[in-house]
Amino acid sequence: MWALIYRDWQLAGRRRTEALLPLVFFVVAASLFPLGVGPEPQMLRTMAPGVVWVCALLASLLSLTGLYGSDYGDGSLEQMLLSGRSLAGLALAKAIAHWAVNGLPLVIASPILGLLFDVRGPELTTLVLSLLLGTPILSLLGGVGAALTLGLRSGGMLIVLLVLPLAIPVLIFGAGAVGAVSAGLSPQGHLSLLGALLLLTLLGAPWATAAALKIALD
């Protein structure tokens, strides 16, 4: 698993433009909202959780087509399947590498966007924590969608249609945690639900991805 994660990190380093595209989209898309709605601080603070989370979700979807596509195109994915290693372990390693390359930069950039929306203190901390819990779920779910659409011509659009409905609860609980802090309530319930979703996807998504990969390569 660690060898596969390190391999994907090296490949991402060689394709820096492709690897940085989700982060650039995340920052640019979120930055346009304050310019469009005006500089009123209260309005910006109210809309910040939803805007940041929607942009993070769309940025994650941008990079899913390459999760297995390049390995499938050059034949290395078939070699991985023939190696006798666990397919669920392979899927988990690919999801971890995807999150490290695409999801973690979004978490790191989120405090800057939070300050842009005048989000500070506990609200900003909750925003970062919710993204830290939620973005791995998007990578795990994205692995299932990428495996199901492997080799299809319109795979990119199908991934969006498959993953987006599954990611809606993550979006709701992630943005709701920050909204709870803004309302003077505890975000513990929303963060606990995000943690439960993360554990559930960690247990189920790699096996679902492995089954989809078997079907795609049969």
Give me the tens of pLDDT residue by residue for the chain, a chain 218 residues long.
777 788 878 877 777 777 788 899 999 999 888 888 777 888 888 898 999 999 999 998 888 877 777 777 777 777 777 777 788 888 898 899 889 888 999 999 999 988 888 888 899 999 999 999 999 999 999 989 888 888 676 667 788 888 889 999 999 999 999 989 988 899 999 999 999 999 999 999 999 988 888 887 76
- Residue 155 is predicted with a pLDDT of 64
Cα–Cα dist 131/115, whole Å: 15
**Cα Rg of the chain, angstroms:** 18
- Residue 118 is predicted with a pLDDT of 85
Residue type, 175: A
- Residue 53 is predicted with a pLDDT of 94
- Residue 64 is predicted with a pLDDT of 83
- Helices (H), strands (E): how many in the chain? 10, 0
Cα–Cα dist 180/188, whole Å: 9
Cα–Cα dist 70/49, whole Å: 34
Q: Which two tokens stand for residue 93?
A: 């390693």
Q: What's the whole-model pTM score?
A: 0.89
- Residue 18 is predicted with a pLDDT of 77
